[in-house]
């Protein structure tokens, strides 16, 4: 009997075995790029509650995930927010992606199970999927904020003093920013609970603040979307009204409102009718928007008064009442 013919020589057999084992090794240890992409945080943008920020950490070397876009879903699979592609890819390290909240979305409060998907190629291909618990509001009692001042003109050296007021007109914080002749942008850092604020620069600063300066605030100047006087087209750059985690203001870590107001509010044909619940004099009244701007004022020694709101658009406003006994109450109202 003739010996069986070998398909390969002994050398070829060895090479084939190494080739086959290499394939098996690669299959057994194949790793998706998604395995090295971690969702670090999913939270509202500090100054814009229509934006949800997803912070990712990419441990791959180089750039991956071309033209990425994230989508956030609730536990029922409803779309809560979606990213408009703004990056060529996701590079090594930390990157923050900003998703626009769906106008019809019912955003859950507190912690909820969510699904996050990452698409590449301008939404053509589903690349990665994560399922995890998400809490859009910060859980800390206050959240770090960076106050910044930008000089767009000739550099000047000196100290600029700032004060931060809450909606009750109370100075909650103050500090300073030191400008020099080297950098255009300088910072001060504070910690703020969710709330409505107004930031003022002192006229007694070393530098006269004119329209060549931009005043702003953000959670992180390098990564977060903030707000500043240029974005708001503010002709007065020495003051900035802003919301800080507005969607979280009713949470347990927000600035507490003074409840137990002793007045009732009724809307009727463009009028806001305000009346005392105990028949006492109302005192001073201020109707403010959520940026802290005073829209209507009144002082009444009677138990009721009327404000004309016909020129105001629908939305949420704040009504402040300082009584003749110097008690201060604040109430959110929805004008419609």
Give per-residue pLDDT as tens, 53-96. 999 999 988 778 999 999 999 999 999 999 999 999 999 999 99
CA–CA distance, 292 with 270 (Å, rounded to integer): 22
User: Which pLDDT band, with edges at 50, 70 and 90, does 22 fall under?
Assistant: very low
198 pLDDT exceeds 50?
yes
pLDDT computed for residue 168 by the predictor: 58
CA 92 vs. chain centroid, Å, equals: 24
Pairs from 251-256 (Cβ < 8 Å, separation ≥ 24): 251/137, 251/194, 253/137, 253/138, 253/139, 253/140, 253/141, 253/142, 253/193, 253/194, 254/193, 254/194, 254/195, 255/166, 255/167, 255/193, 255/194, 255/195
Taking only the tens place, the pLDDT of each residue in 150-162 is: 999 999 999 999 9
What percent of the chain is modeled with pLDDT above 70? 83
Cα gap 46→138, rounded to integer Å: 10
Assign 28 to helix, strand or coil. helix
| Secondary structure element (H or E) that encloses residue 11, with its range | helix 10-29
- Position 31 scores a pLDDT of 54
Residues 306, 245: Cα–Cα separation, whole Å:
32
53/8: higher pLDDT: 53
Tell me the C-alpha distance between 275 and 29, whole Å. Answer: 73
With cut-offs at 50, 70 and 90, classify the pLDDT of residue 25. very low
What whole-number distance in Å separates Cα of residue 278 and Cα of residue 35? 64
Predicted local distance difference test score (pLDDT) of residue 331: 74
Q: Between β-strands 328-335 and 315-322, what pairing exists: parallel, antiparallel or unpaired? A: antiparallel
What is the pLDDT at residue 209?
93
Question: Quick check: 172 pLDDT over 70?
Answer: no
Average pLDDT over residues 219-241: 89
pLDDT of residue 61: 86
Contact 189, 144 (CB under 8 A): yes
Give one DSSP letter per residue of 255-293, joined into a string: PPP----SEEEEEETTEEEEEESSS---EEEEEE-TT--
Confidence of residue 292 (pLDDT cuts 50, 70, 90): low
Average pLDDT score over the chain = 83
Under DSSP, the state recorded for 246 is G
Q: How confident is the model at residue 169, as a pLDDT?
A: 57
177, 147 Cβ separation under 8 angstroms:
yes
Could you give the domains of the chain? 33-134 (2.60.40.3580), 143-248 (2.60.40), 263-335 (2.60.40.1930)
Among residues 76, 78, 60, which one has the least CA distance to residue 127?
60
pLDDT tens, 113-158? 999 999 999 999 999 999 999 999 998 878 999 999 999 999 999 9
Q: What is the pTM of this model?
A: 0.66
Percent of the chain with pLDDT over 90: 49
- Counted residue by residue, the chain has a size of 336
């Amino acid at each position: 009997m003739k010996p069986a013919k070998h398909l390969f020589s002994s050398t070829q057999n060895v090479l084939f075995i190494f080739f086959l084992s290499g394939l098996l090794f690669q299959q057994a240890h194949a790793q998706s790029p998604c395995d090295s992409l971690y969702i670090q945080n999913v939270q509202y943008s500090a100054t814009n509650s229509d934006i949800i920020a997803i912070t990712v950490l990419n441990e791959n070397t180089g750039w991956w995930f071309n033209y990425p876009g994230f989508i956030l879903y609730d536990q029922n699979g409803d779309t809560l927010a979606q990213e408009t592609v703004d990056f060529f890819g996701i590079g090594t390290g930390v990157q923050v992606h900003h998703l626009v909240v769906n106008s019809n979305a019912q955003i859950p409060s507190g912690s909820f199970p969510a699904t996050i998907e990452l698409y590449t190629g301008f939404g053509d291909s589903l690349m990665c999927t994560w399922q995890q618990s998400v809490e859009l509001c910060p859980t800390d009692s206050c959240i770090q904020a960076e106050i910044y001042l930008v000089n767009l003109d000739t550099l000047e050296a000196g100290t600029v003093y700032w004060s931060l007021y809450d909606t009750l007109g109370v100075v909650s914080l103050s500090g300073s920013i030191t400008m020099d002749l080297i950098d255009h942008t300088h910072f001060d850092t504070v910690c703020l609970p969710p709330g409505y604020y107004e930031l003022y620069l002192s006229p007694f600063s070393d530098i006269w603040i004119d329209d060549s300066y931009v005043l702003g605030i953000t959670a992180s100047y390098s990564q977060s979307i903030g707000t500043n006087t240029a974005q708001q087209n503010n002709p007065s750059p020495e003051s900035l009204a802003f919301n800080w985690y507005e969607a979280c203001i009713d949470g347990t870590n927000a600035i507490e409102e003074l409840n137990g107001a002793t007045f009732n509010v009724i809307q009727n044909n463009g009028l806001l009718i305000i009346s005392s619940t105990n028949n006492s004099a109302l005192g001073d009244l201020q109707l403010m928007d959520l940026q802290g701007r005073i829209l209507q004022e009144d002082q009444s020694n009677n138990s009721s008064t009327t404000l004309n709101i016909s020129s105001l658009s629908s939305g949420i406003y704040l009504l402040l009442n300082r009584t003749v006994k110097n008690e201060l109450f604040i109430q959110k109202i929805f004008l419609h």
